[in-house]
Structure 1
Amino acid sequence: MKNVFRKTTIFLAMSGLLSCATGEKTPETTEAEANTEASTTNAIEKYEAYTQKFSEETLITQNHATGHVGDYFFTHWKDGGAASLTLNPEGEFSVSWEGGGYNYVGGPGWHFGDKDRVIGYRFNEDSGASYITLYGWGYDETMSTSNPEHLVEYYILQRWTYDPSQDGIYGKTFTSNGVEYSTYRSVREQKPSINGPSTFYQYWSKPTEQRELGEDYEIIFSDHVEAWADTGWIIPDMDNLNASDDPTYQVMAVEVFNPGNDGTASGRVWDAGAE
């Protein structure tokens, strides 16, 4: 694996050491903030089979892992094969994969989606990922599981070698931050999800042109939520810790499926709205 970082890498063994934020107050933390943090921490602990917290650059190799490196959440999932994710506390990441018949998706971001988040990112390398995409979930446990609207997996594509629009229905074309996107929706029937095997919708935003390597970009997420809603495609709760397997995270993900060759994709993600 090509390492683009300079710090010492921590290797996570398959068993993994699990730890979570304590939620303890600091002198600058108010009582309300401490209670909110403790409540969130306790809710995230339900995913203790996968959730880990690290303060230094970390290499993730398990088949299924979520957690935090510094303040950045990560997801790392594969159904076989050999793929790994390296992430540091500054949001710099690198995914490496070997060719084979399997699916992998992983990357850094946040353990919840936020309609008003502006996502900053830069891609340094891409040797043929199926997608590099803003990726996340929404989930409403009060809706019937027979209704695909109860669970939504969404993608805002930035680079790709596979075109998902061939499998979806067209929604609309719109412009966000100077980029023209077209939207599509597809359905997955009893496929892996953050809530076990489920039937759910996928929403896609696909730009007219792919993003270049080595440049900084921003995604205004609210524009995509509104564009999807214009055609009746509503995202359920994006800050939900009630799914069985993972929270409703939002990450800049690298996905590869049945890769024909070894490859690497790397870059950095940050919250541009917080700058």
Structure 2
Amino acid sequence: MKNYFSKNASILLITVGLMSCAQEQQRSKAESDVKAQTVSSIEKYQAYTQAYTSNTVLTQNHATGHVGDLFFTHWKDGGSTSLALDTEGDFSVSWEGGGYNYVGGPGWHSGKKNRVIGYRFNEDSGATYITLYGWGYDKNMPTSNPAHLVEYYILQRWTYDPSRDGSFGKTFVSNGVEYSTYRSLRTQQPSINSTSTFYQYWSKPSQQRELGQDYEINFADHVKAWADTGWIIPNMNNFDASDDPTYQVMAVEVFNPGKDGTASGRVWDASSQ
């Protein structure tokens, strides 16, 4: 009986081991396929997309790509602004005063509804917005419907109040912070899909976030709050738009800055922490 059990136990262990090995191989292959597909798809933006394995500084008008595992966007329509990045998520934006618009920062080449974003800002000389920022796009919706393309902001610090230009949605609490939502319409303005008419969704906290502290943004709470008033974000994980993927980044935005300034911080994915 003892020998019989040992023999069958051995067979069982071997079988389980083989199954685990096969499952691991399937999982590895699936991950490789996703990475290959991502690389192949993102090459569509090869005019801008670059990959860096060490610290870098961007000064051109438009650049997207990766520094280490993090995606970045860097866009301006004039003026002088630079974005410094490292592979660990630290970044710094420096700008000169002038009549132009800039937005940039690190994050991910796609948005995820359940992502928890960790960040810390140590310096802010008066950026227009410090915000979680991203896009959703549905190429199958008619372009006459502004909801086919959505630019979203979850503000953390600001010098311009977007609520003056938007329609109020609702007030809700996420991570102990009270936010109010707004929606505004952009008519024939620059976007990730050329010049388009689209919606902007906003979440604005009742108080600005302090510098020098670690914070988390539960993105799903904001998606739900927007949806509660009928403001749905289209697909946040595609390469269908003409100019950029549907990225999600912790961004610094300045428009028509009156003087030179700097904002610096760090971003990370806190979903599994």
* TM-score, structure 2 as length reference: 0.90
Match of 2:232 in 1: 234
Match of 1:145 in 2: 143
The structure 2 residue matched to 1:129, chosen from 127, 130, 134, is 127
SS of match in other structure, 2:112: coil
- Decide which structure has the larger Cα Rg and report it: 2
Deviation by residue 1:190-237 (Cα, 9 ceiling, x = unmatched): 100000000000000000000000000000000000000000000000
Give me the whole-angstrom Cα distance separating, in 2, the residues matched to 1:112 and 1:35: 17
| Structure 1 unaligned regions, length at least 5 | 1-26
1:60 aligns with 2:76: no
Read off the aligned partner of 2:52 and give its amino acid letter: F
Read off the aligned partner of 1:235 and give its amino acid letter: I
Give 1:195-274 correspondences, 5 Å limit: 195-274=193-272
SS of match in other structure, 2:271: helix
The structure 1 residue matched to 2:100, chosen from 83, 93, 102, is 102
Give me the whole-angstrom Cα distance separating, in 2, the residues matched to 1:32 and 1:210: 42
Read off the aligned partner of 2:242 and give its amino acid letter: S
Match of 1:114 in 2: 112
Give the 4+ runs in structure 1 shifted more than 3 A. Answer: none
Match of 1:186 in 2: 184
SS of match in other structure, 2:240: coil
Structure 1 residue 28: Cα displacement: 11
Structure 1 residue 33: Cα displacement: 1.7
SS of match in other structure, 1:222: helix
Match of 1:13 in 2: none
Read off the aligned partner of 2:149 and give its amino acid letter: L
SS of match in other structure, 1:197: strand
CA RMSD of aligned residues (A): 1.1
SS of match in other structure, 1:205: strand
Structure 1 residue 85: Cα displacement: 0.3
Structure 1 residue 274: Cα displacement: 2.9
**Percent of paired sites with the same residue:** 76
Give me the whole-angstrom Cα distance separating, in 2, the residues matched to 1:94 and 1:36: 31
SS of match in other structure, 2:160: coil
Structure 1 residue 32: Cα displacement: 2.0
SS of match in other structure, 2:191: coil
